[in-house]
Amino acid sequence: MKKILLCAFSVISLMAWGQNKVATCGYEQKDGLEYSLNDGVEDIATVTRCVTVPSTGKVIIPETITSDGITYDVVAIGDMAFYERANLKQVEFRGNKLTSIGNAAFGGSGLTSVSIPASVTFIDYGAFMNCRALTRVTLPEGMETLPDHVLYGCSSLKDIKLPASLKQLGASSLGYTGITSLVVPEGVTTIGNGAVAECQSLKSITLPASLTTIDDYGIYGCPELKNIRLPRGLKTLGEEALSKCGMPYILLPEGLTTIGNGAMSHDNVLKAVNIPSTVTKMEGAFSDLTGARRVYSRIKRAYRPGGQTFVTCIPGFTYGGKTKFYVPQGSLPSYQDVSPWSMMNMLVEEVPGDVDDNNTIDVSDMSEIINHVLGKGNPETAVAADVDRSCDIDVADTNVIINKLLNK
C-alpha cells in the first residue's frame, strides 16, 4: 500500500508539473542497507532497514545512491531503521541531503557516538532513546525543540552541548541520562514534562533568563543536584517540577504565579523555601515536605490554597512542630483568619534583614550572608539571606543590611 501511495503521489506531482516522466518507486538493498526509492520530480531515498552491520560496527549513510541508472538523494532515516541493532557502534552521515530521522530510528542500538548533520531539520520521537552505550552526541544548530524522548535512557551520556537555537526541551528528552551538568541555552522558554527527570548524576544546571515554564516533573529525581538558581522570568512550576532533588533550599522568584501539585514535595532535604507575593495558585505544592524548618510567604493578604498544600508535610503544621511560617509585616491577622495558615504552630511576621532570626538586624546577619556567599551558610537561613529577593545571595544583600544599620 505504501509503495502504491508513493507512486500515485509522484504521478500526480509530475502531471502537475507537466512532465512526461513516469514516476516509479521500489526498494533497493545496498551495502547492508535497505532503501525505499521514489523517482519523479525529485529522486529521493529513505533508509528503511539495516540488513547487516559491518564487522567494524560502523555504518555509513551515503549522500546518494544509484539504482538502475538513477541517482537518488538519501533524505531520510525511516522509523526504527536501526532499532536495537546492538552491534551498531558508529554511524557516519555523508553530504548534506539528509533532512529527517524517524521515530526510534536508532533506539536501543549500540551506538557510542553520533554527530547529526546540520542539514537535518526533523528528528522524531525517541530517535536515540535507550542507546545505553552512547557517550557523545552533537546536535545541529537550527534545532528549536529537543524532541520528546530523543535521548531518554542514554545512561552513559555524561555531558551534552545544547544548540543555541533551542526554544524548548521536549518531554523526557534527557530523562534517565547520565549527564552530570547541563547548560540550558538562552532562548529556551520551556522545560517539558520529565525533560530532566531521574538524572541521578546531575550536579549542576544553569537555567536561562528566558525560561518561563518548568513543566510537570521537569527537573525531578536528581538527588545530586544541590543548588539551582531560578530565573526571574519564571511563571510556572508544574506538578512535582522540582521534587526529589538534593537542594537544601530553593529561592522562588517574584513573578512566579503557579506552583503545581507537589512541586517541591517528597523531600526531607529541603530546609527553607519562600512563596512569592505573585503566586495565585499553589494547590498541593508543598505536601510531604517533611524536612522544612522555615517557610516564608510574601503574599500580603492570605488566601486559602487548594488541595493538600501543607497537610502531612511540614513539621510546623498544627501540632508542636519546629517549622516557622513567616508572613509579611502587618499581614498576620489575615493569616490567622484563613485555614490552613491559621493552624500553623509557629506563625510570625518576618523582619526583612533579620537573617539569623534573633529579632534584630545586626552584624551577625551580614556574617551569615557572607557565609552563604562562601558556600558555608546554614540552609535554614538562605531565604532570609536573599534580602534583596534577587534569587541570588551575594554582596548586594550585605549592602542592604549596611544601609539598614545606617538607617538609610
Q: In Å, what is the CA distance from 365 to each residue of 134, 227, 271, 275? A: 49, 22, 18, 22
- pLDDT tens per residue, range 257-280: 999 988 987 667 889 999 999 998
Per the structure, the count of domains in the chain is 2
Instruction: Assess whether 270 and 314 both reside in one domain.
Output: yes
Instruction: Assess whether 335 and 263 both reside in one domain.
Output: yes
Q: Report the distance separating Cα 122 and Cα 128, nearest Å.
A: 13
Instruction: Assess whether 323 and 371 both reside in one domain.
Output: no
Position 205 in a domain: no
Query: What is the pLDDT averaged over residues 55-71?
Result: 95
Position 310 in a domain: yes
288: domain CATH number is: 3.40.50
- pLDDT tens per residue, range 290-330: 788 899 999 998 877 765 455 444 444 444 457 888 999 99
Q: Report the distance separating Cα 328 and Cα 334, nearest Å.
A: 10
Q: Does residue 328 have a cis bond before it (omega within 30 degrees)? A: no
* Verdict on whether the full-model pTM lies above 0.85: yes
Query: What is the pLDDT averaged over residues 102-118?
Result: 97
Instruction: Assess whether 370 and 346 both reside in one domain.
Output: no
Position 171 in a domain: no
- pLDDT tens per residue, range 210-263: 999 999 999 999 999 999 999 999 999 999 999 999 999 999 999 999 999 889
Run of H or E including 36: strand 33-39
What single-letter DSSP state applies at residue 310?
S
**Full domain range(s) for residue 382:** 363-405
Position 199 in a domain: no
Instruction: Assess whether 338 and 371 both reside in one domain.
Output: no
Instruction: Assess whether 286 and 315 both reside in one domain.
Output: yes
Q: Report the distance separating Cα 194 and Cα 175, nearest Å.
A: 6
Burial class (CB in 10 A: 0-12, 13-18, 19+), 381: buried
Q: Report the distance separating Cα 394 and Cα 387, nearest Å.
A: 9
Position 234 in a domain: no
Instruction: Assess whether 312 and 370 both reside in one domain.
Output: no
Position 335 in a domain: yes
The cell for 170 is 521536549
Query: What is the pLDDT averaged over residues 89-117?
Result: 97
Instruction: Assess whether 322 and 263 both reside in one domain.
Output: yes
Instruction: Assess whether 317 and 383 both reside in one domain.
Output: no
Instruction: Assess whether 339 and 265 both reside in one domain.
Output: yes
pLDDT of residue 239: 94
Contacts of 133 (CB under 8 A, 6+ apart): 89, 110, 111, 112, 156
Give Cα 84 distance to the centre of its chain.
26
Instruction: Assess whether 297 and 378 both reside in one domain.
Output: no
Position 83 in a domain: no
Which among 377, 364, 363, 301 has a CA at the least distance from the CA of 332?
301
Position 327 in a domain: yes
Instruction: Assess whether 328 and 393 both reside in one domain.
Output: no
pLDDT of residue 109: 98
Q: Report the distance separating Cα 283 and Cα 303, nearest Å.
A: 12
